[in-house]
């Protein structure tokens, strides 16, 4: 158990996120008190039986001083840091003080514990944003690299990853073009629910009777939102049909959706159209041929692992053979740009199995590979049954990610987008790799949050961006299928005021 006391600030959330690298979340108790209270109690604030961390922020006219004190046994260790504040705004002071506090705590804890924390004090889910901001300010790559290492305590390999990803992304995101938007279409149905999944996915066994009505409602939303896009004068850069597993739909159902898109949305400037064909148990020749003929430019066929025993364990009702067969059909009907998703840290998997997965993927030679680190999400079956599984330790997951990184390099891939999620094993990351020229524009835009993404369908969450104000408005659709079907007009109205000013 570690007891944390914040004095002169209330950055409890940020400190807790950082401490999760060192302690289990249920072992962290955190509170704030004011400075006077602290002075009163100082002599008896440490209890020999529990570890106590004190984090003090003092702001003076010209500088701020941050002190972190940690009792380890009878001894109290201390880390003091100071920074000038010049004429900085309140917001900047807050940002700097948070960083300073996290850094001083980080230095104190890494001194006393032998734990690898590759991402240093970075707890946010979109770390590349920092690099983009610095690049936009005209700061040299060399200086950005040293800021990542010294200010954020990120290790060499992650700092290099951030630089590599940001440099590729930069040309897709900047200069920001506010006339372009992207569209996400949610198909929240799946054959069965995977062990680790927390996405809006309704197993067909329970929801198949709603699919036709869902498609009908979706077509209404496509038609009505298309009118708003037209009225706003925006053009559509990319479309992404995701889920769930969109290929649970039949050719007829897809046809209705594509007809609604083609009849209502101006596709003259469309640069990319992705369909997630996630699970091989939803794919056949006829469907893939139809998708290819409907001008889909990018497909995702996801193994997650190339080990049959793991597929069984995670509740995916397909085999590795099915996956390879689906991939071959996709190439046969003419798809060139194909992504594959895998997850590292799946229950029961060791480094050898990860190597086997990578070797098998190498044989198929996709243009994109997305490597996820297992996240134990609250709404998943895995979280419910966590104790029944022997989950891989963070250090081993780091080794496995290195295997994927080495394979990716020899396969000619470059990392082109990345993000982190809550509850990931070892607080690591997800990395999207692509062969040069095959980067998924939609993935970059959704991560960097500089382009408006209009999300249609149940569970879709639109993001309207205002780059000049560095602002973002999130507008969710309802998740429940029946609610969506009955309230589709309201979903359109929710977006109207953000598109028509």
Ligand X SMILES: C[S@@+](CC[C@H](N)C(=O)[O-])C[C@H]1O[C@@H](n2cnc3c(N)ncnc32)[C@H](O)[C@@H]1O
Q: Binding partner of residue 426 among ligand SF4, ligand X, none, CB under 5 to 8 Å per kind?
A: none
With CB under 6 A as the contact rule, the residue among 14, 221, 341, 349 that binds ligand X is 341
Stretch that binds ligand X, among 89-97, 209-217, 241-249, 440-448 (CB under 6 A): 241-249
Determine the Cα angle at 206 with ends 202 and 209, to 5°.
100
Cis peptide before 148 (omega within 30 of 0): no
Q: Between 79 and 304, whose beta carbon lies closer to ligand X?
A: 304
Min. distance of Cβ 316 from ligand SF4 in angstroms?
7
The gap between the terminal CA atoms of the chain, to the nearest Å, is: 52
Rg of the chain's alpha carbons, rounded to an integer? Answer: 25
Quick note: the x/- pattern for ligand SF4 over 259-288, rule CB under 6 A, is -------------------xx---------
Residue 118 lies near ligand SF4 (rule: CB under 6 A)? no
Residue 343 lies near ligand X (rule: CB under 6 A)? yes
Q: Between 228 and 301, whose beta carbon lies closer to ligand SF4?
A: 301
Distance CA 125, CA 119 (A): 11
Cβ partners under 8 Å of residue 490, min gap 6: none
Positive/negative CA dihedral, 442, 447, 453, 458: positive
Cis peptide before 260 (omega within 30 of 0): no
Classified as helix, coil or strand, 2 is strand
Whether the Cβ atoms of residue 182 and residue 239 lie closer than 8 Å to each other: yes
Residue 278 lies near ligand X (rule: CB under 6 A)? yes
Burial of 10 (0-12, 13-18, 19+ CB in 10 A): exposed
Stretch that binds ligand SF4, among 123-131, 188-196, 256-264, 418-426 (CB under 6 A): 188-196
Q: Between 103 and 279, whose beta carbon lies closer to ligand SF4?
A: 279
Residue 244 lies near ligand SF4 (rule: CB under 6 A)? yes
Stretch that binds ligand X, among 92-100, 274-282, 326-334, 435-443 (CB under 6 A): 274-282
Taking alpha carbons only, the member of 103, 119, 19, 16 closest to residue 57 is 103
Q: Between 97 and 202, whose beta carbon lies closer to ligand X?
A: 202
Residue 243 lies near ligand X (rule: CB under 6 A)? yes
Q: Binding partner of residue 193 among ligand SF4, ligand X, none, CB under 5 to 8 Å per kind?
A: ligand SF4
Burial of 163 (0-12, 13-18, 19+ CB in 10 A): middle
Cβ partners under 8 Å of residue 90, min gap 6: none
Residue 190 lies near ligand SF4 (rule: CB under 6 A)? yes
DSSP 174-218: SS--TTEEEEEEEE-EESS--TT--SS-EEHHHHGGGHHHHHHHH
Residue 304 lies near ligand X (rule: CB under 6 A)? yes
Stretch that binds ligand X, among 61-69, 94-102, 208-216, 240-248 (CB under 6 A): 240-248
Residue 199 lies near ligand SF4 (rule: CB under 6 A)? yes
Q: Binding partner of residue 276 among ligand SF4, ligand X, none, CB under 5 to 8 Å per kind?
A: ligand X
Strand ranges inside 358-485, DSSP E: 368-373, 414-419, 430-434, 452-456, 461-466, 471-476
With CB under 6 A as the contact rule, the residue among 56, 134, 197, 323 that binds ligand X is 197
Stretch that binds ligand SF4, among 152-160, 197-205, 360-368, 419-427 (CB under 6 A): 197-205
Min. distance of Cβ 245 from ligand SF4 in angstroms?
5
Residue 243 lies near ligand SF4 (rule: CB under 6 A)? yes
With CB under 6 A as the contact rule, the residue among 52, 71, 238, 245 that binds ligand SF4 is 245
Residue 84: strand pairing partners: 63
Residue 302 lies near ligand X (rule: CB under 6 A)? yes
Binding to ligand X, residues 376-415 (CB under 6 A): 377, 380
With CB under 6 A as the contact rule, the residue among 5, 64, 130, 194 that binds ligand SF4 is 194
Distance CA 416, CA 436 (A): 9
DSSP 111-160: HH-----TTTT--SS-THHHHHHHHHTT--HHHHHHHHHHTT---HHHHH
Distance CA 239, CA 223 (A): 15
With CB under 6 A as the contact rule, the residue among 103, 193, 287, 396 that binds ligand SF4 is 193
Phi first, then psi: what are they for 373, rounded to 5°? -95, 135
User: Binding residues for ligand SF4, per CB under 6 A?
Assistant: 190, 193-194, 197, 199, 201, 243-245, 278-279
User: Binding residues for ligand X, per CB under 6 A?
Assistant: 196-197, 199, 243-245, 276, 278-279, 302, 304, 341, 343, 372, 374-375, 377, 380
């Amino acid at each position: 158990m570690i007891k944390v006391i914040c004095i002169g600030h209330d950055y409890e959330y940020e400190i807790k996120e950082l401490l999760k690298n060192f302690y289990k979340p249920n072992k962290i108790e955190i509170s704030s008190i004011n400075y006077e209270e602290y002075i009163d109690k100082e002599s008896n604030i440490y209890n020999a039986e529990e570890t106590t961390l004190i984090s003090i922020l003092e702001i003076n006219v010209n500088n701020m001083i941050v002190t972190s004190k940690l009792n380890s046994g009878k001894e109290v260790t201390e880390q003091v840091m100071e920074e000038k504040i010049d004429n900085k705004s309140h917001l900047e002071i807050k940002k700097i003080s948070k960083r300073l506090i996290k850094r001083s705590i980080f230095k104190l804890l890494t001194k006393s514990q032998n734990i690898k924390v590759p991402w240093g004090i970075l707890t946010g889910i979109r770390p590349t944003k920092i690099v983009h901001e610095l690049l936009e300010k005209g700061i040299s790559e060399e200086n950005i690299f040293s800021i990542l290492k010294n200010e954020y305590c990120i290790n060499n390999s992650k700092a290099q990853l951030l630089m590599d990803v940001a440099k590729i992304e930069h040309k897709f995101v900047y200069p920001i073009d506010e006339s372009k938007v992207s569209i996400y279409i949610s198909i929240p149905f799946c054959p069965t629910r995977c062990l680790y999944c927390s996405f809006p996915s309704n197993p067909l066994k329970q929801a198949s009777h709603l699919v036709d009505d869902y498609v009908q409602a979706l077509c209404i939303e496509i038609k009505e939102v298309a009118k708003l896009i037209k009225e706003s004068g925006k053009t559509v850069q990319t479309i992404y049909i995701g889920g769930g597993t969109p290929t649970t739909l039949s050719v007829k159902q897809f046809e209705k959706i594509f007809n609604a898109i083609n009849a209502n949305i101006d596709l003259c400037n469309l640069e990319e159209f992705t369909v997630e064909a996630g699970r091989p148990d939803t794919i056949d020749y006829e469907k893939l041929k139809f998708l290819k003929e409907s001008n889909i430019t990018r497909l995702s066929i996801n193994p997650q692992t190339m080990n049959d025993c793991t597929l069984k364990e995670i509740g995916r009702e397909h085999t590795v053979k099915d996956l390879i067969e689906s991939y071959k059909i996709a190439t046969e009907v003419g798809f060139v740009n194909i992504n594959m998703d895998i997850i590292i840290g799946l229950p029961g998997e060791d480094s050898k199995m990860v190597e086997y997965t990578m070797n098998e993927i190498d044989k198929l030679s996709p243009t994109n590979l997305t490597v996820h680190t297992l996240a134990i999400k609250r709404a998943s079956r895995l979280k419910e049954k966590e104790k029944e599984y022997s989950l891989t330790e963070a250090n081993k997951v780091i080794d496995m990610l290195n295997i994927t990184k080495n394979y990716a390099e020899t396969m000619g891939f470059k990392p082109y987008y990345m993000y982190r999620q809550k509850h990931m094993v070892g607080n690591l990351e997800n990395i999207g790799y692509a062969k040069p020229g095959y980067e998924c524009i939609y993935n970059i835009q959704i991560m960097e949050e500089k382009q408006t993404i209009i999300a249609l369908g149940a569970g879709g969450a639109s993001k309207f961006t205002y780059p000049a104000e560095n602002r973002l408005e999130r507008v969710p659709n309802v998740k429940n299928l029946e609610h969506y079907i009955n309230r589709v007009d309201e979903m359109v109205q929710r977006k109207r005021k953000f598109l028509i000013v």
